[in-house]
Structure 1
Amino acid sequence: MKPVVIIHAKLPDALLRKLEAHFQLVIVEKLSAETMPLLRQQLATAVGIIGTGLRVDEALLQQAPLLKVASTISVGYDQYDLSALQRRQITLTHTPYVLNDTVADLAFALMLAAARRVCELNAVVKQGQWHKQSESGYFGVDLHHKTLAILGMGRIGQAIAKRAYFGFDMKVSYSARHDKPEVDRTFQAQRVELDQLLSSADFVVNILPSTMETQNLIGEKQFALMKPSAVFINLGRGNTVDEQALYRALKNKQILAAGLDVYQSEPIATDSPLLTLDNIVCLPHIGSATAETRFAMQSCAVDNLINSLLYPNDPQKTVYRVN
């Protein structure tokens, strides 16, 4: 009898067939109050789980005595209790690399949309309020040749820096725990302390992960340091930014505009004051949401699961482990 794997996501047929060649599959395409009892029941015999959105903590792991591998279809792994997984010697894998360019593209979509007031002026046209004499009232700000500050210079940060330097002739500065000599050489970039970074930037892109150190890292003080002409973009994690402070900074014109793809609570509440502002662009957490990238992430996660379970000691089999 084949070992049991639980899929808590919707996967393409080709990837399901790939898994079916090795495992007995239990498929829970959508996590809900109705489907969670089935998932928890099947945990008793499962050796692997693959998907997104499931909180994997000590309570859940107590119901999964045979579990060996958890494969998340994401780069981030906030939903996983790493200590609990390590205590039980359960491997956690994720999907880095495949979404770097897609998220970097979205960073520029948000920067351009916020700087050139794309969504606001799209509404003007569609609502029949476009009057030629109002043209000067439609002014935005340029992106090219401006200073870009990147908070976090990992793989995505470097993809953003590449587009900024080679595509828009931007001056790149960044914050990171350590110097990045290759980044400095390639993009003529400079690592700068946070306060100086924020005060000198025309555009600030936050791609920081959620950690104890980064929670509410960008708040009242940090927005006060930014230029009145600055544009702030958040593609990292929602809890790295104090949203009330961001609202006040936008409302009071401390900064020019913002673009968000992540929020402290998701979906963002429909009565959030941020949604009342014209100078903010809000997206529904679509950083990796293209057909090509999502398939690449799913494929990577499936390979991680297969290789971890069937070929745990084979150096020729690629596995992107978190722990």
Structure 2
Amino acid sequence: MAERPRVWVSQPLFADIVGRLGEHFEVSATETVVQHAPDAVAAALREADGALVTLNDAIGAAQVAGAGRLRAIANVGVGYNNLDLPALSAAGILATNTPDVLTETTADFGFALMMATARRITEAERWLREGHWRQWSFESLLGGDIHGATLGILGMGRIGRGIARRASGFGMRVLYHNRSRLPEAVEREHAAQYVGFEALFERADHLVLVLPYAPEHHHLVDAVALARLRPHATLTNIARGGLIDEDALADALGAGRLAAAGLDVFEGEPAINPRLLALRNVVLTPHIASGSLATRRAMVALAVDNLIAALGYGPDAGRPPSPLNADALTHARKRGA
């Protein structure tokens, strides 16, 4: 009997879903949550034909240099800045992600985080728990309205459009900025107006970041951009932490140049900038925008489907549902020539 392909699962996921891999592969699964060191990832990949990984697992040229058997990596997440796609493509390794299945859940959370930020929900809870209610005054814990306000969306992809749809129920005016303008019909459908980057910051009452991270976007929201926001404005980030200069954000929040921020992502996560932890006008959540039970299960199921298909098995053999770097197949053919 021919040896079955080997698959590495980097983190504990839903066992009943990941168990489907055992129908086709020899599976080595990590049983506890681990922050794998780079050399540990390299060692795990060295004898693997495929891998199921999460955003916690950074994989680049160094990690795949000795992985002569590796053909596919299935990322559990729509974002993939943990993967060096050019390096994977050059090595003939196909990468996949899990888009679409988390769109509505993440949009729900983004809108909820924006509302919690504007209405000072977590600050109010802390104030109550600390026993300050007897010191209440008519001007205590006043926040900003959502209804009738101007929502700015930076990054009008699937999730950005989902947030725009939710804004319509609150009578919000929606402005957006994107790498490219949406078709007029899509703008009408979402009652959204395209504006320039600077105008988005200058006109938004509540600004939500939903754009993908790329090196050219590092600290896109810097001190200059933050200075364009009005003092009553809020900033919500459900995209990637590296988009914001967190020290500049702490400066703006501490000085009262920005009312509040809601952050689900951080540049050095799981470490958090201590200046943000010290501020009361920041709502902090641990990267859970896609964190509903149904959605997380759907993400793992899609990642498993991707890996099975990428390694040539199942009903979609050779055609994984969501490839990121189809050019890897060309490199793989050249490598095998």
Q: Under TM normalisation by the shorter chain, which class is it? A: over 0.9
Closer, same or farther: CA 259–35 of 1 in aligned 2, 3 Å = closer
- In the alignment, what sits opposite 2:222? 219
1:34 and 1:321 mapped to 2: Cα distance?
26
In structure 2, relative to structure 1, the CA distance for the partners of 1:174 and 1:82 (3 Å cut) is same
SS at match of 1:110: helix
CA distance in 2, matches of 1:285, 1:22: 32
Structure 2 match to 1:148: 151
Q: Does 1:197 align with 2:200?
A: yes
Match of 1:184 in 2: 187
How much does 1:223 deviate?
1.3
Residue 43 of structure 1: SS of its match in structure 2? helix
Sort the Cα spacing of 1:35 and 1:267 in 2 relative to 1 into closer, same or farther, 3 A. Answer: closer
Q: What TM-score do the two structures reach when normalised by structure 1?
A: 0.93
Q: What displacement does 1:313 show?
A: 10
| CA positional deviation for 1:13 | 2.6
Tell me what 2:175 maps to. 173
Counterpart of 2:332?
none
For residue 117 of structure 1, the aligned residue among 116, 120, 123 is 120
CA distance in 2: counterparts of 1:92 and 1:44, whole angstroms: 17
Match of 2:61 among 55, 58, 63: 58
Which of structures 1 and 2 has the larger relative contact order (alpha carbons within 8 angstroms, sep 6+)? Answer: 2
CA contact (8 A) 2:152 2:175 kept: yes
Q: Report the Cα distance in structure 2 between the residues aligned to 1:42 and 1:151, rounded to whole angstroms.
A: 38
Aligned residues of 1:308 and 1:319 also touching (Cα < 8 A): no
Q: Residues 7 and 137 (structure 1 numbering): CA distance in 2 closer, same or farther, change over 3 Å?
A: same
More displaced stretch, 303-312 vs 220-229: 303-312
The within-5 A match list for 1:283-302 is 283-302=285-304
1:4 and 2:6 matched = yes
Secondary structure at the residue paired with 1:125?
A: helix
Cα distance in structure 2, aligned partners of 1:315 and 1:34: 32
Give the direction of change, closer, same or farther, for the CA distance of 1:289–1:117 in structure 2 (3 Å limit): same
CA distance in 2, matches of 1:286, 1:49: 23
1:322 paired with 2:324, answer: yes
Counterpart for residue 334 of structure 2:
none
Give 2:133's aligned amino acid: W
Is this contact kept in 2: 1:73–1:298, CA < 8 A? yes
Q: Distance in 1 between matches of 2:178 and 2:7?
A: 38
Aligned with 2:19 (options 17, 22, 27) = 17
Identity %: 38
Cα-to-partner distance string for 1:257-306 (whole Å, 9 max, x where unaligned): 1111111111234x611222121111111121221111110000000001
Aligned residues: 320
Q: In structure 2, do the counterparts of structure 1 residues 257 and 316 end up closer, same or farther at CA, with 3 Å as the change threshold?
A: same
Q: Indicate whether 1:47 and 2:49 are aligned.
A: yes
What is the CA-CA distance between 1:178 and the residue it aligns to? 1.4
Deviations 1:29-55 (A, max 9, x none): 333569965x64453331100021222
Residue pairs, 1:300-319, within 5 angstroms: 300-311=302-313, 318-319=320-321
Task: Please give the alpha-carbon distance, in whole angstroms, between the structure 1 residues aligned to 2:135 and 2:34.
Answer: 51
2:329 aligns with none
CA RMSD across the alignment: 2.2
Aligned partner letter, 1:278: R
